[in-house]
A and B are shown apart, each in its own frame.
Chain A
Amino acid sequence: MKKTIYGFLFFSFLCLTSSLQAQDGADRLVGVWEPSHGKAKVKIDKIGEKYYGKIVWLREATDPETGQPKVDKNNPDEKMRSTPLRGYRILKDFQYTDKDEWTEGTIYDPENGNTYSCIIKMTDENTLDIRGFIGVSALGRTDIWKRLKVPSKKK
Chain B
Amino acid sequence: MTLKYLKIIGISFLSIILLASCSTTETKAVSISFEAVAAGPFFEGGNSLIAESNMNLNELIGDAEIKPESIESIQLEKATITVLQMENFDAFNNASLSLVSGNSPMQSVAILNPIEGSSKTITLTTSDEAELLSFFKEGKFSLITDLDFKSDDYMEQLAVQVDLNLILHY
Contact = CB atoms under 8 A, between A and B. Distances in A.
B111 interface: yes
A47 interface: yes
A79 B94 contact: no
A79 B127 contact: yes
Interface in A75-103: 76-77, 79-80, 82-84, 86-87, 89, 92-93
B128 A47 contact: no
A76 B108 CA distance: 12
B100 A86 contact: no
Interface stretch (A11-19, A29-37, A48-56, A134-142): A48-56
Interface residues of A, number: 21
Contacts of B148: 84, 86-87
Contact of B45 (A49, A87, A92): A87
Going nearest first, the 8 A-B pairs with the smallest beta carbon separation are A87-B46, A82-B113, A92-B106, A77-B129, A83-B111, A93-B105, A79-B127, A77-B127
Interface of A: 47-50, 52, 54, 56, 71, 76-77, 79-80, 82-84, 86-87, 89, 92-93, 106
B106 A89 contact: yes
A89 B97 CA distance: 12
Contacts, number: 64
Given A47-B144, A48-B142, A49-B102, A83 B108 contact: yes
B127 A80 contact: yes
Tell me if B's interface is mostly helix, strand, loop or mixed. strand
A48 B129 CA distance: 24
B160 interface: no
A86 B149 CA distance: 12
Contacts of A76: 129
A76 B48 CA distance: 24
B98 interface: yes
B126 interface: yes
Contact of A47 (B93, B96, B105, B142): B142
Given A80-B111, A92-B106, A54 B46 contact: yes
B56 interface: no
A47 B113 contact: no
Contacts of A77: 127-130
B128 A86 contact: no
A146 B148 CA distance: 26
B121 interface: no
Nearest to A56: B45
Interface string B29-67: 000000000000000011010100000000000000000
B46 A79 contact: no
Q: Indicate the member of A48, A71, A80, A92 with the most B CB atoms within 10 Å.
A: A80
A84 B113 contact: yes
